Structures are given as structure tokens and as C-alpha cells.
A and B are shown apart, each in its own frame.
Chain A
Amino acid sequence: MEQHFTVKDFWLFAFLALLLLMILLSMYMVDRQWERMTEMERTMTEQAASLRDLVRTISTGISANMNTARRAVNAQTIPDAFKRAYRATQIKGYAVGDWLVSPFGTGLKTLTPLISSDAYSAEVQAYVLESLLTRNPASLKWEGMLAKDNGWKVSDHGLTITFQMRRGLKFSNGQPMDADDVVFTFNFIMNPQIAAPRQRAYFQKVKSVEAIGKYKVAFHFKEPYFQSLELAGTMPILPRHFYARYLKNPQAFNQSTGLLMGSGPYRLEDPMSWTPDIGIVELERNPYYWGPIQPPFEKLLWKVIENDSARLTTFRNGEIDLYEARPREYQTLLKDQALARRTQNLEYMSPTAGYSYIGWNQQRDGKPTLFADRRVRLAMTYLTDCKRIVDQIMLSYAEVAVSPFSPRSPQHDKSIKPRRFNPGKAKALLAQAGYKDRNGDGVIESADGKPFKFDLVYFQDNEDTQRVVLFLRDLYAQAGILMIPKPTEWSVMIDLLQHKDFDAITLGWTSGIEVDIFQMFHSSQTVPGGDNFINYKNPRLDAVIEEARSTVNEKARMLLWHKAERIMYEDQPYTFLLRAKSLVFIDKRIHNVQVTKLGLNKDILPVEWFAPAGMQKYTH
């Protein structure tokens, strides 16, 4: 009956545990081998199919298609969109091969197009999906990507745009692409079963898309719209043969994590099975790529590294090729000799980075607030010393913003200059509006004795914003204004915006090449859920915005934007703070890094970066 646990038993248990571990490990090993085998099998079937194609092509005589591919390598026949990439191949030391490894600061939800909404997945998709047009990063002109060079025509007062597509386009599994795929993509987006409400909202202005021939497609618009060419030209084209099956089972598409296939130079190894838990995204070269210039890197890799110090360490170790720094960090890293030997650094003003601002809510709970008065808003702008914020907090790696339009964009009227810090003017304006220190306590009051006091809501996790807000609190206090900083969580912030339940808020908007200010400043957008959450209503500005949006002629439109900018400058619905520079370190191994009008020449097609043969790290 007496059973004691003895040392002998212990060894027995230990042995059994070891045995179990061995069995588990070997099971896992076999499983891995199995996966490799299926992978190889897939590659082999793919190769067999392309071999069959080749045999067929040869037996039917050499097609025109093959001919163009052969001839394409001389400079004259290269399509406009590929000219820059072609020039990169002519640089001394150009070589094919190596990997490009970039970091992601947060995990991805999904890679599937349309349902993904973050910038990171868009970055991956940029290499896999192609659109009809692409912008030249140097001239900002549109060039044909899937469409032929100059193969598009805007007619019917901007209501119809026709695109002539290239011949011989192929998706990354070798299937050909034609106008039907373009029509399919549009109809797929507009299908209410597909969880793509954001894209549907964008394409609201498109009435229909119609295939005129096998390689010709027309976009019909409901009304003239200034961004219609961009809208139609940048729609990423999805393969019908791959996505059509999800029309029957939209749930599978809406909940998918990695359904990504396109005609771009890179592809997912398996277009269906990526999941976020592996922590990396890997793209391989598309063997069926139709373009005349094949992409240089063999693989593109993204590693998810959420912890900031771990990300910096990985970059120092050379395990990632790219690191984006904050101003203070950037200055300390510049002094680092070891880093300077291995990396190049760039500071540039990205047009897509946008601007930050303080939004003054003009109506809260149905009543006008302090900031409903234009003079008060103007006074606040005079009191906000943006110059010092730029110099001291951003260490001059930023510029003062004057309006939603970038000072380098033709939308901006060059005669409008940012207002200088001027407490005297501010005091006078506040006195005009009826705010004076009436009881000598250093705080200004309104006529009925209420002190000038408001809350400033800001996002709690951004260090730089926090510094700016605390700096402004002191500045405002000197003018007798009580500002109470309110650090806020993102989900709470959304709720406050939704109910317009705040006095003032500091946020940022990203922007593009040409900014549409309809969403933020048109009075129709003050409805619940609209982006005009400051209740700003100005019929004069509304009219200008509407006119500009329906003006297709660029010159005339720019004059209208100037007019809108002038109104906003006088009205100050926001106090515009600053535009921050991007501060980037890149491994020296990566060549042909340029700052273009679109920002860094990364994430654009065709790929322009490369690693010279002697410096390659991952391939030998």
C-alpha cells in the first residue's frame, strides 16, 4: 500500500517526458517537411504550366508578345513609367539580387486589399498591386502603368475617361489581364457584400466602368470631379479569376488575412495563406512579371518590431535596412560613429506627411463656445508661437504650417505668410472681443465675469505633442488664458470627436499631392460622423470649395484654392501648427536612394533601389 516517490521513479518520469518531447519534436519535423513538399509541388505545377505555355507559343510561331519582350531592353522602346527604373539599371554597380528588410511598428491585421485600412498593409500592397496610371516622382505627371503611354483620354467635359491598356499584361500566376479585370475590380468594390465601405465612398462619384474592347476600358462619372483621373487611374486592379469566387462567399473574403494577388513585380509566395501571427511579411519576385525592367531585390521582407528600443537595436545590428527616427533621437544618432559608417541619413519634407493643428470647436451642446468669435481664434493664433515649437521641440526638423496646403504645392498662394507670435496684437483682439482682466487676478474674463478657460484634448502617447501642449499652456497663461491639458486615449478621442464634446483639440491630417479640404471645412460635413468636427460654417468658403472640386481645369482650380486658402487664413478655423520632416536612416548597401517630390523613392513602382553586387548581404 505504501507508495513512495523514489529517485528511481523520478528518472522514469524524466525519461518518459524526454521520450514524449522527442515524439512531439519529430512530429513537428515531419509536419514541416510535408509543408515544404506541398510548396515544392506547387512550384512544380506552376513551372509545368508555364512550360506548356512556352511549347504552345513556340509551336504557333513566335508571337508579337514575345517579340516586344525581347526588344524592350533598348532605351527608346521603354515605356515612360519605366524610364527611371531603366536609368537605375544603367548606374555603375547596378546588380540584381539581395533582400530589402524594413520594419513595421505595429502588427498588421490583414494584407487583403480593400478590407485592410492601415498604412502598413498599403505599403506591402504597393509592390503587389498595380494600377492603370502612376505618378512620376520627379515631375508629378501621370504616366501609363497598365495603360499605354499617353493611352488615356478625358472627354465629355471630364465625365468620361478612356484607358487603352497594354498588351501582354499578366498576373503573378501567369494568367493574362485585360479590361474585364478592371471592370470586375470596380464592381467588386461596389458590391455591398464586400466590407470595403471606405473605397466605396471614394468611388461614389463613378457611375460605371465599361469594357469597350479587350484592352480598352471607360470610366463614366456622375459629375465633373477634379480628382477623377487620379481616382480612376490609381484603382488597384484585382485579378478576376482569383477574387471572383468570393462574390459567392463574401464572408470568407471579409475575414481573410492574406488574400493578395496582383500584377506587380512582387508576390506573396502563397496568395492565400498569410497570417499575422508569424510577425513577418515576405514578398518574392514575381516570375511572370510583364514589365520590361525586372525588379532588383530578390525578396522584400518586413519585420514587425513593436518595441522602440528593440527596433533601434535591430537596425544597429544591421538586421533591418531602414529606421525612422524622432527629432531628438535623430540628433543623438547623428553623433554615433558606428552608425555613420554603416548608414546614410536623409531628412526631407514628405508631401504625404501632412500637418498638425489645433482645432477650435465653435459649438458645443448646441451653444456657441469661446471660439465662435473670429477675433478670439485669431488671437489664439497670434499667441501660438509656432516658430519656437519648431526650433525648440522639433529641433528645426519641421516648418511652420500656414494652411492645409503645402507651401511647395501650387495650391498654396505664395503671398500668404504664417502669422508671427504677437501677444500685443492678441491682447488687443481679445479686448475687442470683450475679454479683459477685470479683477486683477491675472486671468482675463468676459463681460459677465467668466474666466477665459478651456480644455485642450490631445493624444496621450505622443511625446512631442505632449511637449507642445505643455509649452502652449505656459504661453497662454502669460496672456491670462487658462488652458487645461487633457491627455486622451485614442478610442476616447474618437468618441469626443463624434459628439463634438471638447473645447479645443490638437491633431494632424495627412495629405497628398493635391489636398481636398471638403471633408474638414465644408459646412455639410458638420453632420454627426463628419470630419468637420469643429462646427465651422462659412457659406463663402463652401461655395469656393464646391466650385474648385468641380473645376477640371487645373489653372482655374488653383486660383480657387488660393481663394479658399485666403478665407481660411482670415478665419483661422484651425490654428495651423507645423509640418514635420521625415528623418530616416538607411543602410549604405542600398543605392539610388533619392528624395523626390513624392517623398522617398521607396514603395513606388517600378522599384528603383538596388544593392550593388559586392555589398549584397543575403544572396551570394
Chain B
Amino acid sequence: MTDTETRLKALMLRGLDGDAAAYRECLGVLGVRLRAYFARRMSGASGDVEDLVQETLLAVHLKRSTWDSSQSFTAWAHAVARYKLIDHWRRRKVRQTLPIEDHIEFLAADEPDPGVGLELDRALATLSEKQRTLVSDVKLTGLSLAEAGAKAGMTEGAAKVALHRALKALAERMRRANG
């Protein structure tokens, strides 16, 4: 378990230093863990699980400056996931209590297959055509931000700003979506 913390923390630190491949790997590992975490607490509904995984990953990305790197990364990510889960229940008006959990348990690994999230697509649909293309086209290996921007008719600088704004808008819209 602490191996995962060591590994994730190292990847995240490299990611914060600008190593995009490490950052991508960190989010990938975290995504698998989050899927298992939410699936265990939300009997069945795999669409909801994937929505929450995606919403939480967006939050982890946009709020990463609030992680104090002298503290545990897993504990921080767990607190984000827990907040998103409770918020999800609050919006759905589901009365559920989440027992106090250790973040070690947060890492318990069983790996359900990724489901299909719907909220992200709904949120994407509210963005402008350009932003939508940009978010779905950009790849770390494959179409770079500059190329994806060119495809959407933007300079690289404009694409940077547009991508960041699009991600913030997606996070906000997923949060407001009723479920």
C-alpha cells in the first residue's frame, strides 16, 4: 500500500516539475484506484462511477496547487474523492453516511473495467466547437497541443489558454449537473 503512495507521490512531484509523461501515468494509476473506490461505495451504477472518476480527476488536476508536497499525496487525493462522493450524494439527495476511512483502504486494489461516463460528454456539448475539438483531439503522444490547436484554427498560445479554460468550464459544469 505504501508502495503505491511512494510511487504516486514520486510521479506527481515529477509531474509538477513539468514531466508530462509522469503526470499522465500518475493520473492513470489514480483513475484505476478511484474507479475501485467509487464502485465499492455505489452498488452497480457504473455510469455514475465513471462520471465521478472523471469529475475527481478534473478536480485533482485543477486543484493540485492545494497539495502540500510535504504531506501524503494519497491522503490528499482521498480527501478530494471523498468530497466529490459526498457532494454527489448531496446533489442526488441521497442520505448516505461515509464512515471515517483510512486512506490506506482507499488504495485497496480491485479493478473494475472502466464504464462509460455521460456527464463529461454532456458538459463537453455545452462548450464551443473549437474548445470541444481541442479537448478531445489533444494527446500526449499523437496530436500535440500545437497541432490540435492548428486543427481548431488557433495558435499554440491561444490553444493553451483555450484548453485550460475549457477544462475549468468542464469541471464547473459537471459539478452543477444534476447528478
Chains A and B come from one and the same complex: no
Q: Give me the interface of A with B, judged by CB distance under 8 Å.
A: none
